[in-house]
Amino acid sequence: MREFNFKGILQSEGWYENMTVSVNEKGNIQKIEKAANIEKCSGYAIPGFQNAHSHAFQYAMAGLAELHDTTTKKNDFWSWRQSMYELALKVRPEQVEAIAAMLYKEMLRHGYTHVAEFHYIHNDLKGNPYSNRAELSERIARAAQSVGIGLTIIPIYYEQGGFGIPAQKEQRRFLSASFEDYLELYESVMKMSKNYEHCNVGMGIHSMRGVSLENIVKLADYRQGNTPFHIHIAEQLKEIKDCISFTGMRPTEWFMKNIELNKNFHLVHATHLSETESSQLAISGANVVICPTTEGNLGDGLFPLDSFLKHKGKWCIGTDSHVGLNPFEELRLLDYGQRLTSHSRNTFGNSNSGDNGAIAINSVLVNGRRAMGMENETYFKVGTPLDAVVISDGHPLIGMTGMKHLTNTIVYASDASMIQGTIAGGSWKIRKGENQDTQIEQNFIKTMKDLSNRL
């Protein structure tokens, strides 16, 4: 049995000072009790964050789409997408694994202990299925296991290029030939996942424009139990316009009318909602995965959080294209975008506590875990893995802050330098900013040299 001694651990009801957390050989919590020797205590442990939306391969192009055309041509999501296609069309299986391992190591360094990989590169360079249908999904699973981050792999269904439009040649690596073909892929990923620890499987559709309406309904009906179902929706204004032209309804409007939503449905972005859509989506119990740094980078827009929270809507965060990897940065950008439009500072204050930071952490923890297919609303719980990001009490700002203001100081005034380390599955994965496995960096550097896209 191993012991971790903390100056404080955060539970839903607040901070517990000077605590010892004991874990067994599997990394599961056995006991949580007052520390016998407070001199051994250091750092403040908050539950590890869940990154509820990731496209791992896009980390290889982070920062590369900022050299804009100097003509009057608009640079937006659709022009960015062409750069993404160029990368997706040439990345090989071993490169997918190397990029994902580097990314996941960086996620751990910033405090994420679990990631939902919205994975849609399935085919070889020519667009044909690999003999092992789960080849690229398994590369992702191997990368996650190599660094020690928990994974929910979501093989994504993609079959067409737009509403009623055939797929483009640039999308050939994403495509399933039919509904049955996607199910074969899904079952292959399910089988593969059993060979990896801390690996769950979800299912998902790339977007309403990427799959026929009939098959969207079929897959939603196929989903069982607490299997998480993920979909990009209402991210772009053009998508809204095209959906109205094709269906007579807005995307989220159509989705809610045709799918019986519940807590196991996770709508990514949902940036452009009408007031009615916002209220109905909140009432449905479905979760929205907001990706503030990516949505800001792409110029998508601001999610209507204020109206969503009036109806007690559920939300969590993801890093999507990975232009940012700090969960606190995601929360701050989400919050400050709302403040700038509402001229009010209590963005997350939809409970009696009025404690913005505590409310935000609770939302991303509980709803983020659900996006992974995990049902656990207790922060640190006996019998579950010890997953924590530890904030250093040695930093003067943190060290001089009392329990009343500690959570908000961490959420609103911290940066990566204040993170003492990250624990996942009951062991340190990153400590004092470093992971000793340099092979991950070497593999990533070699991949970048081979791709030659960052020069």
pLDDT per residue rounded down to tens, the chain (455 residues): 899 999 999 999 999 999 999 999 999 999 999 999 999 999 999 999 999 999 999 999 999 989 887 876 778 887 888 889 999 999 999 999 999 999 999 999 999 999 999 999 999 999 999 999 999 999 999 999 999 999 999 999 999 999 999 999 999 999 999 999 999 999 999 999 999 999 999 999 999 999 999 999 999 999 999 999 999 999 999 999 999 999 999 999 999 999 999 999 999 999 999 999 999 999 999 999 999 999 999 999 999 999 999 999 999 999 999 999 999 999 999 999 999 999 999 888 756 678 999 999 999 999 999 999 999 999 999 999 999 999 999 999 999 999 999 999 999 999 999 999 999 999 999 998 666 678 999 999 999 999 999 98
Query: Do 149 and 117 share a structural domain?
Result: yes
Residue where a domain terminates, one of 319, 343, 371: 371
> In the annotation, is 122 catalytic?
no
Q: Which residue has the tokens 């839903």?
A: 12
Domain assignment of residue 168, yes or no: yes
Residues 6+ apart with CB under 8 A from 83: 61, 64, 65
In 299-417, where does DSSP find H-type helix?
305-310, 327-342, 356-371, 396-399, 403-413
Question: Active-site residue among 55, 110, 122, 269?
Answer: 269
Going along 202-252, which residue ranges are E strands? 203-205, 229-233
Query: How do beta strands 427-431 and 49-54 pair?
Result: unpaired
Question: Active-site residue among 242, 300, 320, 335?
Answer: 320
Residue where a domain terminates, one of 321, 341, 371: 371
Find residue 268's DSSP bridge partners: 232, 289
Query: Do 56 and 167 share a structural domain?
Result: yes
Query: Do 400 and 365 share a structural domain?
Result: no
Number of domains in the chain: 2
Strand order in the sheet with 419-424: 29-34, 14-23, 2-11, 44-47, 388-391, 419-424, 427-431
Q: pTM here?
A: 0.97
Q: Residue 22 phi/psi, 5° resolution?
A: -105, 135
Find the CATH number of the domain harbouring 396.
Answer: 2.30.40.10
Query: How do beta strands 29-34 and 14-23 pair?
Result: antiparallel
Interior/surface letters 117-132, b for 16+ CB within 10 angstroms, e for the rest = bbbbbbbbeeeebeee
> In the annotation, is 272 catalytic?
no
Domain that holds residue 31: 2-47+379-431
